Amino acid sequence: MTSAYVGRFAPSPTGLLHAGSLVAALASWLDARANHGRWLVRIEDIDGPRNVAGAAEGILEQLAACGLVADESPLRQSARTALYEAALARLQASGLAYACGCSRRDLELAVAPEAGRARHAELVYPGTCRGGLNGKAERSFRLRTDLVRPGAPGDPVVWTDRRLGPRSEDVATSVGDFVLRRADGVWAYQLAVVVDDADQGVSDIVRGEDLAGNTARQILLQHALRLPTPRYLHTPLVLAASGEKLSKQTGARPLELSRPLDALRAAGGVLGLPAEGTTLAEWLAAGVAAWRERWPLA
Mean pLDDT on 278-298: 94
pLDDT computed for residue 178 by the predictor: 96
Per-residue confidence (pLDDT) for residue 198, from 0 to 100 = 98
| Alpha-carbon Rg for the chain in angstroms | 20
Give me the phi and psi of 91, to 5 degrees please.
Answer: -65, -40
Mean pLDDT of the region 52-73: 97
Q: For residue 119, what pLDDT is reported?
A: 46
Query: Residue 2 above 70 pLDDT?
Result: no
The 10s digit of each residue's pLDDT in 204-237 is 999 999 999 999 999 999 999 999 999 999 999 9
pLDDT bucket at 68, cuts 50 / 70 / 90: very high
277: left (phi over 0), alpha (psi -120 to 50) or beta: left
Mean pLDDT of the chain: 91
Burial 86-115 (b: 16+ CB within 10 A, else e): ebbeebeeeebbbbbbbeeebbeebeeeee
User: pLDDT tens digits for 79-122?
Assistant: 999 999 999 999 999 999 999 999 888 887 777 655 444 445 67
pTM: 0.91
Question: Could you tell me the domains of the chain?
Answer: 6-80+236-294 (3.40.50.620)
252-274 in b/e burial notation, b at 16+ Cβ within 10 A? bebbebeebbebbbbbbebbebe
